[in-house]
Structure 1
């Protein structure tokens, strides 16, 4: 094939740079997600535009019809196609200015918006799948650090957000019979049960299922011994053990035919108990096998962490996030198993472990702590029954601004559940066709009913503005007490604010969410606040009001308007600015303070 190249132009902070990618080089280009980009493919061979595709990961970009200059063909990105696949409306990420190129003045586009990490560029020939030119672009973002990106992604995976696509489904038995569970969820449950076992492990020492057998021993006779037929037969067969005595009141004398004898020694059955029971042998075998299996899995997944990359490589990144989470649980499980195993070796010894259960397991049910282990043995039988292969995993792709919104949803949900020591019940679903998590979630704390509305509105809300636009904030938390409700609105914003941009966003959100929609009876129900949630280097809450009118005070001005900044790396779910607002809202709901 004749020589081909990609020319990549970058407009960054009013500086124009140009890079050339050839087939035989491995150049990695550094760009920012906000940079305006122009990509041009140059070749000596003519190709039909429908037979050429630019792949950035799994995202396909189209070329416009080529321009021929001196026997070379120049293909450039189709801006109309780009405007349809980038986020935002009205060509939000197409440059307003025209930049000078070898093919004339052209507008550039932010094709890496909401991206971070490594993006692989390839120009592919559709007919053969051959890569004509390829290269890599390292994308940086001022909105989020790589560490925080990793933390947010693993947090979403731990909440099974990618569950239907990226996490394996396994059937678990025992107490969870016929329940479909994700592997991560199953490992979390396994770790929980092992920790419960560790907490009550001394019961296996003090109240163990034991094995009993008799040993026959010659002992000195005393009247307190329990005699059996074996003991009497021994005396008959060994009369030399008897010696006659005239002292019939002797404590150790026995009477035979009106005569008294001292018994020198006698054979008795001595019942012996040990922990070498079938049940304890099974437990030893179970711990041994589970330990080997867990260590094998831990070794298998001991691979390097992948960088987050665009789309197809993003798949590998998410899979590695999943595997990291998997390894974390596996490591903790391994530690618990080792601790339990050491206890059983020291305090509940057996002659040999048994690897499999037989059909006689009723004794496991005789003691509660043994029953729990029996259930655990059944539970683990299918957890590792599926081999995890990267090629078999798939996922849903979303830009990070959407992922941040989902992250905020789980954060609000976790904070409220931790605060109330309750779990949400989903009351309505699929309010938004593009969001599988949208709907209403409900829990109760004492006399307060709390509802978390995600891209949905309470039934008591109505629209005040004219027109057909429907206004729905990202999150609306409802606190109901004695038939009266207070509402607090949160809107997730994947951006970094300065004073001006924050004021602009809050003005727009206040108009849409505080004036264009609201509860239909404001004497009973009221909206007490609206805050943005964004990401930054710290965790803090900032109100637009003076401190003397803050929500935390009796003389507060409502509705409160402000912003919250969170840093996932240093976020404490039990102490944070979101929890502060929830505490204030619950206090107001209980005390019915109104202005």
Structure 2
């Protein structure tokens, strides 16, 4: 069992999957009640998104910064074109070293007690624009606050990395160290991004001092679209920054083995699609809510993964998500009919979509064949598919780890319809029902590729 966990962990970590139930918690003001939870990696992902948005808006900030007009006082060499006012005379009275006796014909002369003096320098004032205003101070304060926050997280990470000892590290300690090192890399990258933003903002919108506070005066941000968008990122930061990543909740436990295997299969399916020549296009997270609140730990991976080929063929992999056009009953809305994976296979010029359900089960093949296959056939194929809306799935296959060869003599790809009617025959019955072996060993062959290839070429 230990070697299986190690392979799970290493494979998922290489695909940036959060297999720990890493939770950050915040407290309501004047209360000890824990009000919200969030995943630390999801929090950092949101922060990266916000900072990148600000970086993308810098060109507009260069072209159109918010400014104010101020008097600029400078000591200049005397000439007749300088703007001289009362402040200039007052400065001169306190700086007699810049005047000296001269003749009456000197153009820069002044007369004091019937004597002529020449002026070498004087304080002059001009009207200039300055970026030292509230909105720009808030932007600088936001960046400084983010940097300090990241420094604190980095210190926490460094203090919690487990050092090796004479007895060696436990599996938990090894995996926590790997996770901390991954977290450390993310924080370093975010720190570099913040430093870049601070450097550029010092050039573009220099201020006398930053203001680290909620932007309570927002009308200035609303006056320009790019300032408004930056203001939204700042508000988002102050909404989330009170999350406390304390040591007790940072890694509160490993997800269940079933969930680990499900995530394992997600990336095995993605790899299989890519192996068939498809290019990853985009990911659209699902809008999944629990008690009318977003659950970041769910939406981190659930959603629609889109892939395309140069010939126009496309595959959409839905993970813990059912496309709206498949909503045939209230059970779908309630999430009661939610397969792990739904594949939508499209071909150019072909109206119909090939729909295939894949469901991950960390169980022996014999149990799946005896119990799960019939149950999920009724639940998914008959529960979602409908003749009324012409939705017909082409297949349902359950994914399972490799069994030890026993009396069932498990095949890597097993079809419920046997011999001349199985999936690989010339006359297969649809929807095709069966199982696919998805082994967890490093050398295990991926049979998912064979299944997807059949469904993309047969129709």
- The TM tier, using the shorter chain, reads 0.5 to 0.7
Which deviations, in whole Å up to 9, do the C-alpha atoms of 1:319-372 show, x marking residues without a partner? 555544433332221121111111112332222222224532211122232223
Instruction: Determine the C-alpha separation between the residues in 1 that align with 2:147 and 2:414.
Output: 55
Which of the numbers 135, 141, 152 marks the counterpart of 2:11? 152
**Change in 2 beyond 3 A, CA 1:306/1:192:** farther
Q: Is the 8 A contact 2:48 2:190 kept in 1?
A: yes
Instruction: Determine the C-alpha separation between the residues in 2 that align with 1:171 and 1:202.
Output: 38
Q: Is the 8 A contact 1:489 1:529 kept in 2?
A: yes
Q: Is the 8 A contact 1:198 1:340 kept in 2?
A: yes
Match of 1:124 in 2: none
Which of the numbers 128, 134, 137 marks the counterpart of 1:272? 128
Instruction: Determine the C-alpha separation between the residues in 2 that align with 1:585 and 1:290.
Output: 49
Q: Report whether the alignment pairs 1:383 with 2:241.
A: yes
Which of the numbers 419, 431, 435 marks the counterpart of 1:526? 431
Instruction: Determine the C-alpha separation between the residues in 1 that align with 2:53 and 2:71.
Output: 36
Instruction: Determine the C-alpha separation between the residues in 2 that align with 1:421 and 1:305.
Output: 41
Which deviations, in whole Å up to 9, do the C-alpha atoms of 1:176-197 show, x marking residues without a partner? xx98642321211111221232
**Change in 2 beyond 3 A, CA 1:185/1:479:** farther
CA-CA distance at 1:505 after TM superposition: 1.5
Instruction: Determine the C-alpha separation between the residues in 2 that align with 1:449 and 1:368.
Output: 44
Q: Is the 8 A contact 2:355 2:392 kept in 1?
A: no
**Change in 2 beyond 3 A, CA 1:443/1:214:** farther
Which of the numbers 333, 336, 339 marks the counterpart of 1:439? 339
Matches within 5 A, 1:20-59: none
- SS of the aligned residue for 1:535 comes to coil
Q: Is the 8 A contact 2:51 2:194 kept in 1?
A: yes
Q: Is the 8 A contact 1:210 1:276 kept in 2?
A: yes
- SS of the aligned residue for 1:407 comes to helix
Match of 1:585 in 2: 455
Instruction: Determine the C-alpha separation between the residues in 1 that align with 2:175 and 2:201.
Output: 39
Which deviations, in whole Å up to 9, do the C-alpha atoms of 1:440-486 show, x marking residues without a partner? 66586766374645369xxxxxxxx999984659xx99999964432
**Change in 2 beyond 3 A, CA 1:391/1:296:** closer
Which deviations, in whole Å up to 9, do the C-alpha atoms of 1:225-254 show, x marking residues without a partner? xxxxx9xxxxxxxxxxxxxxxxxxxxxxxx
- SS of the aligned residue for 1:403 comes to helix
Taking only aligned residues, the RMSD between alpha carbons, in angstroms, comes to 5.4
- SS of the aligned residue for 2:415 comes to helix
Q: Higher strand share goes to which structure? A: 1
Instruction: Determine the C-alpha separation between the residues in 1 that align with 2:232 and 2:27.
Output: 15
Which deviations, in whole Å up to 9, do the C-alpha atoms of 1:497-535 show, x marking residues without a partner? 8xx7899311794358999999xxx99943288532113
Q: Is the 8 A contact 1:190 1:380 kept in 2?
A: yes
Match of 1:133 in 2: none
CA-CA distance at 1:294 after TM superposition: 0.4
Matches within 5 A, 1:77-476: 114=1, 116=2, 141=3, 146=6, 148-154=7-13, 159=17, 162-163=20-21, 166-169=22-25, 181-214=38-71, 271-302=127-158, 303-304=160-161, 319-320=176-177, 322-357=179-214, 359-381=216-238, 382-390=240-248, 394-395=252-253, 398-399=256-257, 403-409=260-266, 411-412=268-269, 417-419=305-307, 420=315, 425-426=321-322, 427=332, 439=339, 448=353, 450=355, 452-454=357-359, 470=374, 472=376
**Change in 2 beyond 3 A, CA 1:405/1:214:** closer
- SS of the aligned residue for 1:506 comes to coil
**Change in 2 beyond 3 A, CA 1:180/1:376:** farther
**Change in 2 beyond 3 A, CA 1:366/1:292:** same
**Change in 2 beyond 3 A, CA 1:516/1:491:** farther
CA-CA distance at 1:408 after TM superposition: 0.8
Which deviations, in whole Å up to 9, do the C-alpha atoms of 1:186-213 show, x marking residues without a partner? 2111112212322332222122112222
Match of 1:493 in 2: 401
Q: Is the 8 A contact 1:492 1:532 kept in 2?
A: yes
- SS of the aligned residue for 2:128 comes to strand
Q: Is the 8 A contact 2:131 2:207 kept in 1?
A: yes
**Change in 2 beyond 3 A, CA 1:397/1:274:** closer
**Change in 2 beyond 3 A, CA 1:514/1:331:** farther
Instruction: Determine the C-alpha separation between the residues in 2 that align with 1:529 and 1:479.
Output: 17
- SS of the aligned residue for 2:210 comes to coil
Aligned length: 339
Q: Extract unaligned runs of 5+ from structure 1.
A: 1-113, 117-140, 173-177, 222-229, 231-267, 433-437, 457-464, 542-562, 565-577
TM-score (norm 1): 0.45
TM-score (norm 2): 0.56
CA-CA distance at 1:491 after TM superposition: 2.0
Give the structure with higher Rg (CA): 1
